[in-house]
Amino acid sequence: MKPTLERRRRLTHRALPLGGLAAAALLAGVGFGSAFESGSERVAARFAGAWSDNDYAGMHRLLATDVQAQVSLKDFTAAYARAGAVATAVAVETGDPSVAGDGEVSVPVTVRTRMFGTVEGEVVLPVGQEEKVQWAPHLVFPGLATGDELSRRVQVPPRAPILSRDGEVLVEGPAAARTSPPDGIGSSVAGTVTRSEDAEERRELFARGFEEDTPVGTSGLERALQRQVEGRPGGVLLAGSEVLTRTPPRAGGPVRSTIDTDIQAAAVTALAGSLGGIAALDPRTGEVRALAGVAFSAPQPPGSTFKLVTTTAALDHDLVKPSDEFEVVSSALIDGVPLENANGELCGGTFGASFAHSCNSVFAPLGVEVGAERLVATAERFGWNEEPTISGAKESTVPKAEEMTSPLEIGSSAIGQGRVLATPLQMASVAQTIANGGVRETPTLLLGGPRESRRVTSEQTARTIERLMVGVVDYGTGTLAAIEDVKVAGKTGTAELGDTRGPDAVESDASNTDAWFTSYAPAGKPEIVVAVLFVRNGAGGATAAPAAQPVLVAGLKEQ
């Protein structure tokens, strides 16, 4: 009697070493390159090879005509994607086909998964006389019989605690009831855990083995460190009602963040409940020492702090020197539009003095001379227009060069206005790059996590900008950030949030400007970087610079 498909089902599961997987792939390649005796085996080999390559269109072309008419490529692809998500599959390897019976070819299949380890079995392909596959839905995974569906039952591990850099608990407890110590600073940075409303995030969660409505971090450290604190779910993988394999849940250990509780406390105190954000970084590693308020979640026009980018581009292309002289005027005329200095003041002199006093009348025309391509390229090296590596952080953006259609837009962008947006975390990263000799360390919240370094500008340019930033605090717009016996490097910014020109102009006052300051100390041997934003709360020198000072002091004490 011919054995039934159910009796032919063979399924094992075990963890294979990577070398074993590589050998299986090599053998599969050798097998597919061989000459097969039957057309059905050749078809099965092509089908299996396309499956290993995730080439669902190639698989679909090998289906029988009547099956293709009933199952669209979209539905066919979705069936394999769904099975892969249920099994948490990350790779499929297929072996040499062999004749299993009249018109049937057996294909060994190995599926490597996140949750269930390595699952091995076979899929028996019915190949008709036209040498096409008579496909059915149970062929999406090894071990399924006709009418079976692949499903799973999930057990979620306990959520791991999040600790500070020095091991203090910031937040702990089950996902549904996370708590921070009442006498600590954890609640200011921990964030929230709840059901995600983002469809893509819910799909990714399911593909990692969790149910789509599993509570996840949606803000703060809980979001940024979600993958570290969630652990690995366990459960059983089912073919119909039959258990194919099972795995226990595995909780992660306590996750140590880069947050320094003393610097975090100083940042929270300095923000004083105002709408804004403060970010502090280690200048040598890019590790985040503090995040208060909307430090990485609400991009705003950075105002004159963006002149750090413009200056970098101008110095790199030999367009300016600190000793160059500029006319003392109250505004610059670009495309017939005056771009005024703050409060219409007269500003100019040497480039060093113009930087210290943040002269728009110097930097807007300099931005036009730099040009859109060089300005944008420099900004992108600093991290604009790229997805942040910290989950939950918002992207800082600058218009692409081809989108800046006039000298006025280039000049406005060069002074941090127009359509330029940044977070305090991004502006802290700019200061970190200058402090680190022109090398950007990608910000991270995971202590000891992977680091990415990128040279943004030369060490010579970085050292020149440092001297210019010291002038800002010594005698320019940032004197309120000064620390006794410590050289502080900084740059102020006051971003206008409404058009202050023409018949529809809004009055320029504290409620219509964002206050910015980005800084580090000590200049020459930096130990801490701090960036501050106050939304609709005055001028950078008057509001943000004095708020940065105690956070800088806290960072210096921690060294």
For the chain, the structural domain boundaries read 5-148, 162-256, 261-557
In CATH, what number does 162-256 get? 3.90.1310.10
CA distance 420 to 482: 28
Q: What is the 3-state secondary structure (H, E, C) of 248-294?
A: CCECCCCEEECCCHHHHHHHHHHHCCCCEEEEEECCCCCEEEEEEEC
CA distance 366 to 359: 11
Q: What is the CATH number that goes with domain 261-557?
A: 3.40.710.10
Residue-level pLDDT at 509: 64
**CA atoms of 446 and 288, how far apart (whole Å):** 9
What is the 3-class SS of 315-352, one letter each residue? Answer: HHCCCCCCCCEEEEECEEEECCEEEECHHHCCEEEEHH
pLDDT at 503: 41
pLDDT at 37: 52
Count of alpha carbons within 13 Å of 202, Cβ hemisphere only?
Answer: 11
Render pLDDT for 209-225 as a digit per residue (tens, 0 to 9): 999 999 999 999 999 99
> Per-residue pLDDT tens for 127-151?
988 899 999 999 999 999 999 999 9
The answer to whether domain 5-148 has CATH 3.10.450.100 is yes
Which residues on neighbouring strands pair with residue 300, listed in sequence order?
A: 422
Per-residue pLDDT of 514-559, as tens digits, reads 999 999 999 999 999 999 999 999 999 999 999 999 999 999 987 6
Predicted pLDDT of residue 500: 42
Dihedral (CA of 305, 310, 313, 319) sign: negative
Place of tokens 């190949």: 127
Write down the pLDDT at residue 511: 80
The confidence score (pLDDT) of residue 497 equals: 85
Dist. CA 535–CA 211, nearest whole Å: 39
Determine the Cα–Cα distance for residues 373 and 217; give it in Å rounded to an integer. Answer: 38
* Residues with pLDDT less than 50, the chain: 1-36, 500-507
Q: Which residue has the tokens 């060994």?
A: 108
The SS3 of residue 78 is helix
Helices 424-435 and 372-382 cross at an angle (nearest 10°) of 90
Neighbouring C-beta atoms of residue 251, cutoff 10 Å: 13
| CA distance linking residue 441 with residue 200, whole number of Å | 29
Q: Crossing angle, helix 307-316 and helix 360-370, to 10 degrees?
A: 50
HSE-up (13 A, CA, CB side) for residue 453:
9
